[in-house]
Amino acid sequence: METTSWQMLTTENSGLSANYVTDIVEDGDGNLWFATYGGGLCRRSADGRDWQTCRAADGGLVNDYVGAVTVDKSGRVWAVCDARQVDDVEYTGGLCVLSPDGAWQTHERSAHADCIVALEADCDGTLWCRMGSWVSGGSLAVTRCDGTRDGPDRFHADEWQAFDGATWTAYDGSRAALEAWYPRRPTLPACTRLGWELEGDTVWFLEIVQHPRPSLTVEIPGMPFPSFGMMGSVLKCYLTSYNGQEWKQFDLPEGFNHGELAVDCRGHKWLSLRTLGDIVMGAGVARFDGEEWTVFDEDTGLPTRSVMAISTDSRGNVWLSDHVGGLSRWDSSNWIEFSANQEERDHAPLGRALEDRQGRLWFRSKAGVVVYTP
């Protein structure tokens, strides 16, 4: 690839208000919205000529630490502001919405839920939130939503909530949430923001299932009862699909567990990461064609085993980001590696890419935004 196809946007050469970009979304007019950590919310016009910044000091946002952003069908921009402490100053989090007429509203999150990990508006305009926990300094940040935490952090949560602007509805478990979300799923983007992947009318996701552990008999000398049974459980992860009527489960390759999941335009499912207890161990990536898994590692040309994010584009390419800012691409036959220092990326991990309507890929990071123009 020619280096002229790449561009790095920072506060020095663009209208970004902070280099730490946590999320990117495109609205119906082709404008791009950038959630930044410490710089509020930035809007880039569709032609790239105009930048605007929304900050808490201007009214609207409750603070400038925006963890995620989405746009609903009416053009309202929803932003999650994280609750956090900076230089001994406590910042209260909240769910803020900007209407097309420029008016702001702030909504309280559901009182009995943990933090918001991801959010997406469905085809009816209802906001869906994936809930999780984030502990910082020994306290729970109640609205923590740091979009650059790709990898297994996006899949630990097992509770979803829907917000219609007035009432929160909680769903306990991925299947209950998916059955409720499915009839109202958005037609665009094809890649959802909730950890689910769309392939036509079928939704794919990684499901963690709790299986009972075989009983363990323990003999205790001198006790009136000769033994007792100890029961427990073991967690196992599956690739699961749902088409609105039928559920299917598929075993993962040996050694793989919950992590990144993506579906390319050829229908292949891509999985990365494995876990050993609480330790994440890089295991390369695996591709599922509906019947068999193909595992890619160093022996098959994979540049890195430590994959933080998987992105797919409309041309059939699969992009892998590692933990030091390296980027690799699968073009249906070969892996191509781009160095971690290319375009001055400062070793910052790249999150999932947004493909805009012009086919450009926008990768968010803690050092700015990397743009690829094919």
Q: Judge whether 180 and 162 are in contact, CB under 8 Å.
A: yes
CA torsion, ordered 18, 19, 24, 27, to nearest 10 deg? 50
Is the omega angle on the peptide bond into residue 189 within 30 degrees of 0, that is, cis?
yes
Mean pLDDT of 266-281: 74
> Position of tokens 């803690």?
366
Report the distance separating Cα 67 and Cα 140, nearest Å. Answer: 15
pLDDT band at 314 (very low <50, low <70, confident <90, very high): very high
Residue 27, pLDDT > 70, answer: yes
Q: Judge whether 95 and 101 are in contact, CB under 8 Å.
A: no
Question: What is the second-level CATH architecture of the domain 202-242+246-374?
Answer: 7 Propeller (2.130)
- Name the percent of the chain lying above pLDDT 70: 77
Report the distance separating Cα 267 and Cα 248, nearest Å. Answer: 16
Q: Where are the domains of the chain?
A: 202-242+246-374
Q: What pLDDT, on a 0 to 100 scale, did the predictor assign at position 42?
A: 97
- The 10s digit of each residue's pLDDT in 106-126 is 987 665 555 777 889 999 999
Greatest mean pLDDT range, 78-82, 95-99, 169-173, 217-221 = 95-99
Q: What share of the chain is helix, strand, coil (3-state, %, to 5)?
A: 5, 50, 45
DSSP 46: T
Q: Classify the C-alpha dihedral 252-131-22-15 as positive or negative.
A: positive
Q: Which of 150, 130, 258, 275 is nearest to 205 (CA)?
A: 258
Q: Judge whether 270 and 256 are in contact, CB under 8 Å.
A: no
Residue 45, pLDDT > 60, answer: yes
Mean pLDDT of 222-235: 56
Residue 212, pLDDT > 90, answer: no
Q: Report the mean per-residue pLDDT for the chain.
A: 81
Count CA atoms within 13 Å of residue 125 on its CB side. Answer: 10
Report the distance separating Cα 256 and Cα 273, nearest Å. Answer: 6
Report the distance separating Cα 25 and Cα 362, nearest Å. Answer: 10
Q: Write out the two tokens for 122.
A: 């469905």
Q: Write out the two tokens for 30.
A: 């082709």
Q: Write out the two tokens for 272.
A: 């990365």
Report the distance separating Cα 275 and Cα 262, nearest Å. Answer: 18
Residue 77, pLDDT > 90, answer: yes
> Position of tokens 């579906």?
263
Greatest mean pLDDT range, 104-118, 149-163, 231-245 = 231-245
Q: Write out the two tokens for 182.
A: 């499915």
Mean pLDDT of 11-25: 94
Report the distance separating Cα 169 and Cα 154, nearest Å. Answer: 21
Q: What pLDDT, on a 0 to 100 scale, did the predictor assign at position 157?
A: 57
Comparing 6-15, 317-326, 356-365, the range with the smallest average pLDDT is 317-326
